[in-house]
Structure 1
Amino acid sequence: MAIPWGTIKSLVIFFGPLLLPKAIGYYRRVRAAPRIHGLKVRDLPAPMVRSIAILIAVAAVFLLRTLPIFSPENIFKTTQSRLQIPADVLFNRLSALRPSNTLTAADLALRAKFASLESRLLYLQHGPSVVATCPFCTSDDPRSYLYYALPDLLAPHLFNLIIIALATSSLLIGRTHSASAARFRAPASLAAVAAAFLDLYWVATYNHTANARALRLGQLDTFFWTARITRYTLIAVIDYVLSMVLYLSATQRAFVSPPSAVDRVEAATRGVRAALGVANASGVLKNTVLRDEELRGRSMAYWAHEVQLMREMMEEREVVEGVNDALLNRLDMRGIERDAEGWAKAVMSAGAGKEEVVG
């Protein structure tokens, strides 16, 4: 049952001003999270490449299955016939389009079922395979066709759930990246389950008798083919969105989790050790230069030369004018004087307080 466009427009007008600012705020928080936590963009890890490639490939396969060349045949559209056409005339037209003018076994099974209008209406709801091959379905019990169609209806959703679990499991991406990918397994699985329930509800509540009033081919609601395209497109969108989220998270562009306290302490410890190593190496190098007479002479000559160059540079007219311009026009000298005076007073008051305590 389709939702009227007017209802959709009214919902968008009502909820749009409420949800749009929240969506923009959430997007900005997600984009700013890596910078806030001090994380840098990195290359996509190799294990995540496999996971994302599988998701994109599965999404592409589902999208390809929506093309008309891969869709089941609609004999009313193939023969350009209306729903109320006599069965003999319909299948004579279909036979003329078949190789060697011979109907297939599925065509013969449909011909036996098309004696009643109810079977044709159920054909438009559940498709040719269900109507032709169901051994216990009758037009007197339309629900029987739904029960027979359930495995084919739920199969792509169950397959997609398996793909989501595989793409976010440590079996494929390893233990190093499984923790970050596992965060998105539950939301993606819930989205896939919700899509399956919506699909099942849509098919189960469809009013197949509405096509009984269609007198021309253009008036027929080919529900089975529309639902099939919607089903595969929705599954492909879920897989594609999950692949994009995994990519942004793995490269630390968005959807990052802040590092734990232990990780921050370890990173700070590594930084301090690296700085200490550089300082020790610099001290050893300086000590070596000072102990060697030739190296000490070269070092002193180098710094003497640098000091001389600096003096000559500071005596140039352009440099002097630039320094004066910066001191007079760009720097807030009064502000600097106030800061220096405040700092001096704070130091003096702190020293006076200590003397009083000692006294």
Structure 2
Amino acid sequence: MAIITWGTIKSLSLFFGPIFLPKAIGYYRSQRAAANIPGVSVRPVPTNVSRALLILFVAASVFLIRTLPPFSPENIFSLTSSRLQIPVDVLFTRLNTLRPKGLTPSDNILRTKIISLESRLLFFQYGPEVLTDCPFCSADDPKSYLYYFLPALLAPHILNLLIIGGVTSGLAIGKEGAVWRRTGTLAAGMAMGLDLWVTATYNHQDNARVTRLEEIDTFFWKMRVYRYLVLAVIDGLLGWMMYLSSTNRAFITAPAAAERIEFSTRVLDNVRTKMSAVGIIRNTVARDEPLREKTRQYWIQEGQLMGTLMEEREVLDSVSSALENRINIGNIERDAETYASNVFGPLQNGA
């Protein structure tokens, strides 16, 4: 049985579409308008954003690693190639032959928990750890397994929310991360709510009619993979959007008028400070006799050097050739005559 049907996908599309579609349109428009925003250019990734991207990369990598089979709880039915209706003694006899050191204490506890068909169906919904460790769960009350399973189900989501809260903190990362706090928190919260809803509404009785191993819906193991994949995708997309916005590659908004005025004021203050410094240096040189004399001698030597160079035949030929190639004397004369006619023509007509 499929965990999410086509009808569910359509419902989710109708629910999430209005949330993500404006973001997609805004991204497209920002890409087109990025080159037209004055004063905004592509820049390297800021140092604080680099730290946030590193944290998101590590978190997404850990979530992806958690989807690998070595980190997943054992499915003893798949491990022993056993049907759902197999007798308990036969099932654990097969399992014992696969254990180099015999059955573990957890195996012995699980052996007492999956005697009935109902408990085996719950095994495929909540996994082996819930059946083994829950002290109050009973197959007569299937919801008791959900209550015990809730902390384990919500733990990765809550951890991811804390990570997103840290990398979008205005105090730790700055405004480059804070602008994505609402989007990241909303996406992580919706993933948690969807995971809880799918798990709580799953009908474990659908496996009761299955007679072959390959037809069993291993809901717990599928959802575990989907859960960590979704968390990794959320962190990856959040990091990608932070990278684009912090480097002015996308999601760009024009600076406010107050920010532009403040920036222009700072630039003018810097120019005024430098001009004041130049004025002080010139004043100092003008008032100091040795420095004034050195300045005078420098310009005398520069003038003599330029005069000597300009007297050389090669230099004169080069200058003449450059002027002939770059300046059209005829055009200049015509422009001058036109300008003079425009200026003096009205005066002559008036006279």
Determine the structure 1 residue equivalent to 2:149.
Answer: 149
Determine the structure 2 residue equivalent to 1:76.
Answer: 77
- 1:67 Cα deviation (Å)? 0.9
Determine the structure 2 residue equivalent to 1:2.
Answer: 4
Kept after mapping to 1: 8 A contact 2:45/2:247 = yes
Q: Which amino acid aligns with 2:141?
A: D
- 1:282 Cα deviation (Å)? 4.7
Q: Which amino acid aligns with 2:240?
A: M
Does residue 1:136 correspond to 2:136, yes or no?
yes
Determine the structure 2 residue equivalent to 1:245.
Answer: 241
Does residue 1:299 correspond to 2:299, yes or no?
yes
Does residue 1:90 correspond to 2:91, yes or no?
yes
Determine the structure 1 residue equivalent to 2:262.
Answer: 266
Q: What is the root-mean-square deviation of aligned Cα atoms in Å?
A: 4.1
Q: Which amino acid aligns with 2:38?
A: I
Q: Secondary structure at the match of 1:299?
A: helix
Determine the structure 2 residue equivalent to 1:354.
Answer: none
1:36 alignment partner, one of 31, 35, 38: 38
Aligned equivalents of 2:35, 2:199: Cα separation in 1: 42
Q: Which amino acid aligns with 1:198?
A: L
Aligned equivalents of 1:160, 1:36: Cα separation in 2: 37
Aligned equivalents of 2:24, 2:150: Cα separation in 1: 40
Unmatched tracts of structure 1, length 5 or more:
350-359
Does 315-324 or 78-87 show the bigger shift? Answer: 315-324
Aligned equivalents of 1:306, 1:263: Cα separation in 2: 48
Identity %: 42
- 1:321 Cα deviation (Å)? 4.9
Query: CA deviation digits over 1:70-105, x for unaligned, max 9?
Result: 10000011101122222211111011112332x233
Q: Which amino acid aligns with 1:233?
A: L
Q: Secondary structure at the match of 2:90?
A: helix
- 1:195 Cα deviation (Å)? 0.3
Determine the structure 1 residue equivalent to 2:114.
Answer: 114
Q: Which amino acid aligns with 2:269?
A: R
- TM-score normalized by structure 1? 0.74
Q: Which amino acid aligns with 1:197?
A: G
Q: Which amino acid aligns with 1:25?
A: Y
Aligned length: 326
| C-alpha distance 23-268 of structure 1, shift in aligned 2 (>3 A) | closer
Aligned equivalents of 2:193, 2:33: Cα separation in 1: 30
Does 203-212 or 225-234 show the bigger shift? Answer: 203-212
Kept after mapping to 2: 8 A contact 1:30/1:254 = no
- TM-score normalized by structure 2? 0.75
Aligned equivalents of 2:307, 2:279: Cα separation in 1: 23
- 1:218 Cα deviation (Å)? 1.8
Aligned equivalents of 1:21, 1:113: Cα separation in 2: 49
Aligned equivalents of 1:234, 1:251: Cα separation in 2: 26
Determine the structure 2 residue equivalent to 1:223.
Answer: 219
Determine the structure 1 residue equivalent to 2:166.
Answer: 166
Does residue 1:22 correspond to 2:47, yes or no?
no
Determine the structure 2 residue equivalent to 1:213.
Answer: 209
- 1:272 Cα deviation (Å)? 1.7
Aligned equivalents of 2:84, 2:271: Cα separation in 1: 82
1:323 alignment partner, one of 317, 322, 326: 326
Aligned equivalents of 1:20, 1:53: Cα separation in 2: 24
Query: CA deviation digits over 1:316-342, x for unaligned, max 9?
Result: 465245325x789xxxx79x96xx87x
Unmatched tracts of structure 2, length 5 or more:
347-351
Q: Which amino acid aligns with 1:183?
A: V
Aligned equivalents of 1:169, 1:271: Cα separation in 2: 30
Aligned equivalents of 1:322, 1:307: Cα separation in 2: 24
Kept after mapping to 1: 8 A contact 2:31/2:250 = no
Aligned equivalents of 1:30, 1:210: Cα separation in 2: 53
